[in-house]
Structure 1
């Protein structure tokens, strides 16, 4: 997804490494924003190394495959506990990937073990983990790839307002 976003192409021969870093300048509301994008290894072999890259993150893009129930279930079972432990309070954009394959009848016939995740399930997961956004995308077709990163930028530049709890009998006091 990162290569697709930064190069506007789908890499057919890309082999993921342990950690990939990308940089992109994006214009947001008339201002140029420099993005430092880190793609970390999800494999179990890197469980101890991966969290070292979390320090200083402003937002996480947590992706799962829309054609893999195991990938979807790992959001709550593996990734959320890890992110809450190593980077509590950092917002998460939940992303369903491989949107082009979810409705591809031939792909589903050829891969009988694929269990498509629908939009409702994605939204349910978003609510469960408290993510401000859920987006489905396809790096292959570029569908919604830009929207994923726009949502991540927006949540950092314009964080959602915290709901204020009103306490009975107490007056508000603002110290500047």
Structure 2
């Protein structure tokens, strides 16, 4: 038989509260890890799309050859600025060995010219094999060339890896 005592309060016991808090903490930690992974994957996919776009735009600009580069010279370069997390598309000056530097101010026609800057998410990396990506130079036929005196990649056999933390994606230039 149940006795109704108006002074008796019904509530949760300490054990019930501790178990509830522990279960909620576990769910919160799992959700945080999944969210970080999802955000990283999204940023890697965005960086991969940006990298592909930069390569295709650089090829198209190189084919236009507005700076009248000879076939064995770099016409347009895609450079990765890891300090600012940007990809820069640069029209290379005639006989330039420094394909990734753009002078400040209004450049004369003999300087490299920045055509476009494309931002990437912070801490995104780009590699080819185990080498960090610095630049790709295209000649006036849209073919990868090794710019003299630079560390630009001209090997199309290995895939590029774009990544952040544990998330990565690959891209191969054809």
- TM-score scaled by length of structure 1: 0.22
Q: Which has the higher helix share?
A: 1
* Greater gyration radius: 2
